[in-house]
Structure 1
């Protein structure tokens, strides 16, 4: 079974079985699309035979294209980097100064992801990566087997960097789409969506709802994960053919330690219960 190459805040590793439980039994044979890709925990678990991935973070998408098309060069360059504080800030500066060749950009992103604080991807208002050096005992920057396996899976996949609703152009009747959008915050201080310069507000969630309705009308199956907040429930609970299920997730990242632990989230889907 494949695993994500990058660490990613908001990854769905702990929610995978709950999501798959909603899928039809023949899901391994279906085309799969993921418009908010991030670290791709569900994607790599599923190992789809065909489909598409997408993210608005263009440097992240460049990483996955390099991972798919040039894994050996990615391994070669990233293996030269050392886990040292001075090296980290030197490469972070180079990453920010750019522009870089695609493979070097991807290699530095991999390095920063494995050695930066908490595996965050965060940029400031200028679009500069500003995550500080992370303290680890012995971080594994280049996992050759994981990279090679991920590359082989991606060979069959179209990789895009567009707005999420572009999936409606690709998805066909019977396909499966998984949406993992930046969650509508439970509170004003719980927003961990600053991995790209573009925000994602309530209007975007309304547009996402419209996209789900469009896919439903085309016969495309979807699952969306989101926060358990009243505005999200109000958007979806009254739509014919949709259902909203509450699941518990363990939240390990929060600036307030007392707010870590189990929280309610929702899975929104048009999958028939008989699936």
Structure 2
């Protein structure tokens, strides 16, 4: 049994690309890998397309609850989504209610209609992203429903475990011939993962990736181009080879327009000598 493991699932573009029919992601996700999925697959190796199981995780529990709803009961999810208001005032009410408890339909609604697809909380942990009034007025919910149903169908074509878990726990499940793709918060761009994702967490991720590699798994990590010197130093310290792929990604979701556009990224894979 060969397993594909993705511990920072987010919008799940790479995982979805590996499933039958390769449905497009149903979520708007900053840093999403839809256009780079082929590059990730190339780095992992061609056999990744033949995986028989998937372990898809994220520490974001509301996100993973939404993913399970898409897989297990999309009709109810979509029915609840259609009950939510399509007005700026209604968005603010839904956003306020979400601070107490987030149902799957609410999570999807806020993703669809938040300004620029942002997911941000204030110091109290409350969502404070304004709405995208144009999307509220113009988004085709029938197209959203079709997309959700296509993803649900794809997720049910093979065993897919969807759960909330820390990346170290997920990667620890990797064994010989498994594939692991890690898309963590990038160095120099974002640190708000489960409260914080700084240099120490990136080093812990590297250590987990090396341990999985030594067990026979193939691991690929994405990051900003600014992270490459760190990975090169870590590879030297661990006496490992480092496969590097430089890519350019188009970023259209960001709070500031100056942060959008083409950006340099790297994909790295530790290899035993």
Distance 1:135 1:236, change over 3 A: farther
Q: Specify which of 85, 89, 107 is matched with residue 86 of structure 1.
A: 89
Distance 1:126 1:232, change over 3 A: farther
Are the equivalent residues in 1 in contact too, given 2:59–2:194 (CA < 8 A)?
no
Are the equivalent residues in 2 in contact too, given 1:113–1:121 (CA < 8 A)?
yes
In structure 2, the partner of 1:29 is: 50
In structure 1, the partner of 2:6 is: none
In structure 1, the partner of 2:248 is: 248
The structure whose residues are more often helix, as a share, is 2
Give the drift of 1:57: 0.8
Q: In 1, Cα distance between the equivalents of 2:67 and 2:258?
A: 36
In structure 2, the partner of 1:43 is: none
Q: In 1, Cα distance between the equivalents of 2:271 and 2:152?
A: 30
User: SS where residue 267 of structure 2 aligns?
Assistant: strand
- The more displaced of 119-128 and 109-118 is 119-128
- The more displaced of 213-222 and 225-234 is 225-234
Q: In 2, Cα distance between the equivalents of 1:236 and 1:256?
A: 34
TM-score (norm 2): 0.81
User: SS where residue 7 of structure 1 aligns?
Assistant: coil
Q: Deviations over 1:62-118 (max 9, x none)?
A: 1111112221110111012232011101111111123x6xxxx11011111111101
User: SS where residue 200 of structure 1 aligns?
Assistant: coil
Listed as ranges, the gaps of 5+ residues in structure 1 are 31-48
In structure 1, the partner of 2:149 is: 148
Distance 1:203 1:108, change over 3 A: same
Q: In 1, Cα distance between the equivalents of 2:92 and 2:202?
A: 36
TM-score (norm 1): 0.80
Are the equivalent residues in 1 in contact too, given 2:26–2:148 (CA < 8 A)?
yes
Please say if 1:55 is aligned against 2:58.
yes
Report how many residues are paired. 243
Listed as ranges, the gaps of 5+ residues in structure 2 are 1-21
Are the equivalent residues in 1 in contact too, given 2:116–2:132 (CA < 8 A)?
yes
Distance 1:268 1:17, change over 3 A: same
Q: In 2, Cα distance between the equivalents of 1:259 and 1:145?
A: 31
Are the equivalent residues in 2 in contact too, given 1:249–1:263 (CA < 8 A)?
yes
Are the equivalent residues in 2 in contact too, given 1:125–1:197 (CA < 8 A)?
no
Are the equivalent residues in 2 in contact too, given 1:236–1:244 (CA < 8 A)?
no
Q: In 1, Cα distance between the equivalents of 2:258 and 2:232?
A: 26
Are the equivalent residues in 1 in contact too, given 2:240–2:271 (CA < 8 A)?
no
